[in-house]
Amino acid sequence: VCCWFKMVVVDIRLKKVDRVYNPGEILSGVIVLDADSSFSHNGINITIDGVVTLQLSSKSVGMFEAFYNSLKPIDVIKTSFEVVKAGKIPKGVTELPFEFELKPSPGHDQLFETYHGVFVNIQYSITCDLFRTFLSKNIQKKIEFIVECPTKEPPKEGRVDFTITPQSLGNVKKSSIDKVPKFKVTGHLDSAQILITRPLTGEVCVETSEAPIKSIELQLVRVETCGCAEGWAKEATEIQNIQIADGDVLRGPKIPIFMVFPRLFTTPTVSDKTFKIEFEVNLVVVLADGHLISENLPIKLIRN
């Protein structure tokens, strides 16, 4: 995608085709100018931005009005430098190289991984500004690049077992348990700490169920928390939902659990001073009559 204005096309091309960088790497590329004729300019600048944007859901705004006013974007990177001083660009294609060490701005300890959420967004971008001479409109080109942040700690292996019965359901009164159809669903996740580049795996088994089953589903949930001195606002929203069994499954056989984490919509679990990004998995058994049986399993995502 290029920006077109009169007779000049401006583009930014990074050395890495996939635009994926780790903290500490040198981000390098070229500004490409394609001009039908030579032209004068007042300088060409590059700006690198890394911004964490926080917002509240509509239901939380009223509860934390003072907090809402303090939700300002966090600039983890904010730097600008001149690539070319004022002068003249010749006709044809001109490439202007640039490079920048990817590191946080002063006052920030670390970079956060690129993440496209609902109430928390972390994005990195490069903007090229071509300042034109009098009576000519300035030209701006902006592209996004991806930052991946390896986690310092290695994954801890540890199987997570679960058993779902009428007695384990949290939203059923003890006096009403006898009215719930008898069932027992067991299973496990192979680990609660998972490499983000590997799938979530495990097994589920319907040992008994008096009521017929419509399907078994696996729901990946993001839990985003924004906070400051006034309080914390926590919101859980669905990222994806996959069906791992369809129909009234046989009682006894083990059904494999397998889920790949979507890129950009997941990130290694983050806990900072003003925000947190955590993840959970809901195993949902949908009964034929529409009732749901679910088990919530917190997980931690890491990157090596």
For residue 251, the domain's CATH number is 2.60.40.640
Same domain, 137 and 273: no
Same domain, 219 and 140: no
Same domain, 137 and 178: no
Q: Is the separation of the CB atoms in 207 and 184 below 8 Å?
A: yes
End of a domain among 115, 147, 179? 147
End of a domain among 93, 122, 147? 147
- Helix/strand/coil (H, E, C) string of the chain? CCEEECCEEEEEEECCCCCEECCCCEEEEEEEEEECCCEEEEEEEEEEEEEEEECCCHHHHCCCHHHHHCCCCEEEEEEEEEEECCEEECCEEEEEEEEEECCCCCCCCCCCCCEECCCEEEEEEEEEEEEECCCCCCEEEEEEEEECCCCCCCCCCECEEEEECHHHCCCCCHHHHHHCCCEEEEEEECECEEECCCCEEEEEEEEEECCCEEEEEEEEEEEEEEEECCEEEEEEEEEEEEEEEECCCCCCCEEEEEECCCCCCCCCCEECCCEEEEEEEEEEEEECCCCEEEEEEEEEEECC
Same domain, 184 and 87: no
pLDDT of residue 257: 97
Instruction: Evaluate whether residue 152 is within a structural domain.
Output: no
Number of domains in the chain: 2
End of a domain among 112, 147, 182? 147
Same domain, 190 and 94: no
Instruction: Evaluate whether residue 154 is within a structural domain.
Output: no
Same domain, 199 and 123: no
pLDDT of residue 64: 52
- For residue 185, the enclosing domain spans 160-302
Q: Is the separation of the CB atoms in 180 and 172 below 8 Å?
A: yes
CA distances from 5 to 91, 126, 132, 136 (A): 15, 19, 11, 10
The pTM score is 0.87
Q: What is the mean pLDDT of each run of 10 residues along the chain (304 residues)?
A: 64 96 96 93 96 81 55 91 94 95 93 96 97 87 96 81 89 73 95 95 96 97 84 90 96 97 96 94 94 93 92
